[in-house]
Chain A
Amino acid sequence: MTAKPADTEYMELRGNLAEMSEAVSKMISGSVDTLVTGNIEKARQIMESDRRIDELDVKIDELCTRIIALYEPKASDLRYIITALRIIVDLERIGDHCRNICKQSIKLSSMPKVKEYIDLPNMAVAASDMVKGAIDAYFSKDEKKALAIIKEDEKIDAYQNQITRELITYIAEDVTKTKAVIKLINITRRLERIADHGKNIAELVSFMVTGKILRHQKPEDDDEQNNAG
């Protein structure tokens, strides 16, 4: 009943968060794209777009503070707001990682290409899908989807292991490629971090829906519980 006056604020929050996650998703795919194409101009554009992410970060932060101060949300409303406040931290970090990938892409564009990039773009797609999926799960308050995304992180870790191992063999073959290879390993690492943020968001969504905190639980803990039962 009395939540009614807050409706406009909730809608504004939804709109801003949708814009922020959309912009972040674009940055993820775009940043790896610039690596593949060597398009420096586009890399600069993407780095510039991080500014909008930072603006939205501040805007959503203020909006959530206002909602808490003015309307004292309770129960699921409260978890919705708290989750939004934490999601934007993850999204903002993802934006920073993308900026860094672009920076490295620009440097790599002036070096001889180590190899054709095949798995890196695939890894980027997988990481971006995790982030997008986690945000969708937030909007639809879908715990199942959130849990599925948490599992996806294993795929990303596998990509990282495989790509890193392969890249190291290039150093063994030709030491002059070391600098470029390190940059590529760094990009892989950034993508892995991006996926971790996606996983974080999914865990937050699970908390929002159920009220239970999933962080700091390892999958083994579940197994032990199952065995005990």
Chain B
Amino acid sequence: MEQRDVILRVRDLNFYYGKKHAVQGVSMDVEKNRITALIGPSGCGKTTLLRCFNRMHDLYAGNRHEGEIIFKGKNILDKDTDVTSLRSEMGMVFQKPTPFPMTIFDNIAYGLRLKGIKNKTELADRIEKAIKQAALWDEVSDRLNTSAGGLSGGQQQRLVIARALAVEPDVILFDEPTSALDPISTGKIEELMTSIKNKVTIVIVTHNMQQAARISDYTAFMYLGRLVEYDKTDVMFTAPNEKLTEDYITGRFG
């Protein structure tokens, strides 16, 4: 394979929910400033893998990691990792929009203030920049001080992406970001993801295979906790190497 700029290096990763072995010996390199999609049937471990990247599993007891995820030269699974700063470098967007119950402005200011930015002009500038990057500015610029709850589902999702972008993370993890949205809003989010990938690396879990095909550069297919095949998206969707990938992509199972 040609020389690639790798941002996340996963090696022999195993993950257990108590006794359940959910991710089994996964090794993969995630390339910087590209969109990598994780696909596979329900329960294949794709969301579990995604959540390993920002140690989301730490929030629940009884979970266990083995292996390595190297990010910026460090194994983020090590005990001494500062998960708060890790999560600001690795943002996450969930299936259902999760705006905070506050104004649009404050939603985005929240993370910035946590990072210690107090200067009002700088705050306003960074908020405007983030909302513009998330292609939401034209729709909300005149009501930044109204509640984020008043936005439509698609707008809320873009607001959440703006909030993630504001703290300038290296990676944004998307967990089924459009499965609760209509096709038009989905299209907007997809366009948005393609437009921000020069600034941030994107890893997306999606049930919608066509979405993976449309927007991602690399696709990883997982099945029963294992990484079956991982390649350039056009290869995966035109001539996959594994029979199992072929069967899943052509709709023979899953």
- Identify the A interface with B (CB < 8 A): 1-2, 4-6, 65-66, 69-72
Contacts and interface: CB of A to CB of B under 8 A. Distances in A.
Which of B183, B214, B233 has most chain A Cβ within 10 Å?
B214
Interface of B: 183-184, 186-188, 190-191, 194, 210, 213-215, 233-234, 237-238
Given A5-B215, A66-B234, A72 B183 contact: no
- Majority DSSP secondary structure for residues of B touching A: helix
B186 A2 contact: yes
A70 B184 CA distance: 19
Given A1-B187, A4-B191, A71-B214, 18 more contacts: A1-B183, A1-B188, A2-B183, A2-B186, A2-B190, A2-B214, A4-B187, A5-B191, A5-B194, A5-B214, A5-B215, A66-B234, A66-B238, A69-B213, A69-B234, A69-B237, A70-B233, A71-B213
6 contacts: A1-B191, A2-B183, A2-B214, A4-B190, A66-B234, A70-B213
Nearest to B213: A70
Nearest to A4: B191
Contacts of A2: 183, 186-187, 190, 214
The 4 closest A-B pairs by CB, nearest first: A1-B187, A70-B213, A2-B187, A69-B237
A154 B237 CA distance: 45
Contacts of B187: 1-2, 4
B166 to A, nearest CB: 24
Nearest to B236: A69
Contacts of B183: 1-2
Contacts of B191: 1, 4-5
A209 to B, nearest CB: 26
A223 to B, nearest CB: 46
Contacts of B234: 66, 69-70
A5 B234 CA distance: 13
